[in-house]
Amino acid sequence: MDHHLADLRPKGKLSAQKAKETAFDSALKGVITSSRKLENLFLVASGIRNSSMFHPVDIEEILLVHDLAGNMGLGMVVRKCGTMVYKVFIFNQDKESLAFRIPDLFESMGFQEFIVAQITIANLTGRFLDFPQCCVDSFIGHLMQGTDQDMEAHEELRQERRPDPRAYFVERFVPCTVKCKRAIAEGARIIDILDDMDPEIHELYMQLQLRHMEDVRLGRIIKEKKTRDEQLTLKPKKK
């Protein structure tokens, strides 16, 4: 299937109540994660953030989120980042034109070109996702030097006595340092809005931040990448 067929244009914003009812419908319990519901859908539909991104586990997840995004008036595009990786981008009207500029990427373009393209896209998606520029620059620095950002973040966090979970404000976001002021400020901003808006969602979001920090501290992202890498190695042809 051509994944561009899933492109969805955003409509208007939803009330927080309507966004909550749709994303947290009881029929979705255990079907998609709290992070998808809260960070990828609810925060964007209610206008707290303008955009979100995730790495889908399978096609079913893409289709489910696609249905929900459509019902919530959100835009969505699915793009490839190499043979094995899909990324799903969700957005409201403020990010529509930027979203449709995100291209697909393939390793077959050649290693150097692949890295250059990755850097261009990292800049584009950093802007699309309103990530702090210092954190985007740090990510790009690792790409250019061929170093592993996730490994460095994992080591740094393990040595930190009093890390601040607010720096891990959405799933998979890695701050430039454990103490990045801009990342912490964004985490704090979301917490404050949710605190006034809805106690249940506020509580769930606090737990999610903690879990994202644990993902980095325990090296879960590194393990996932390793598994993907192993799947990419040459396999003998079956006869």
For 77, the 3-state DSSP assignment is strand
Q: Which residues pair with 51 in a beta bridge?
A: 91
Nearer to Zn ion, 132 or 187 (CB): 132
Shortest Cβ 74–Zn ion spacing (Å): 27
Nearer to Zn ion, 6 or 188 (CB): 188
Rounded CA separation 101/97 (Å): 7
Rounded CA separation 235/239 (Å): 12
Shortest Cβ 99–Zn ion spacing (Å): 23
Largest CA-CA distance found in the chain, in angstroms, rounded: 63
Per CB under 5 A, the segment of 61-69, 96-104, 127-135, 193-201 that binds Zn ion is 127-135
CA angle 168, 209, 214 (to 5 degrees): 80
Nearer to Zn ion, 20 or 217 (CB): 217
Shortest Cβ 228–Zn ion spacing (Å): 26
Nearer to Zn ion, 68 or 176 (CB): 176
Identify which of 179, 211, 205 has the alpha carbon closest to the alpha carbon of residue 192: 205
Per CB under 5 A, the segment of 52-60, 132-140, 198-206, 225-233 that binds Zn ion is 132-140
Tokens of 165: 């979970």
Nearer to Zn ion, 155 or 229 (CB): 155
Query: Pattern of binders to Zn ion over 78-117, x per CB under 5 A?
Result: ----------------------------------------
Query: Pattern of binders to Zn ion over 167-206, x per CB under 5 A?
Result: ---------x---x--------------------------
Tokens of 135: 């954190």
SS (H, E, C) 198-231: CHHHHHHHHHHHHHHHHHHHCCHHHHHHHHHHHH
Q: Which residues of 156-185 are buried (b: 16+ CB within 10 A; e: fewer)?
A: bbeeeeebbbbbbbbbbbbbbbbebeebbe
Query: Pattern of binders to Zn ion over 25-54, x per CB under 5 A?
Result: ------------------------------
Among 56, 73, 75, 132, binds Zn ion (CB under 5 A): 132
Shortest Cβ 134–Zn ion spacing (Å): 3
Residue 197 backbone class (left: φ over 0; alpha: ψ -120 to 50; beta: rest) = alpha
Identify which of 52, 24, 22 has the alpha carbon closest to the alpha carbon of residue 39: 52
Shortest Cβ 182–Zn ion spacing (Å): 5
135 forms part of the interface with Zn ion (CB under 5 A): yes
Shortest Cβ 187–Zn ion spacing (Å): 12
**Which chain residues interact with Zn ion by CB under 5 A?**
132, 134-135, 176, 180
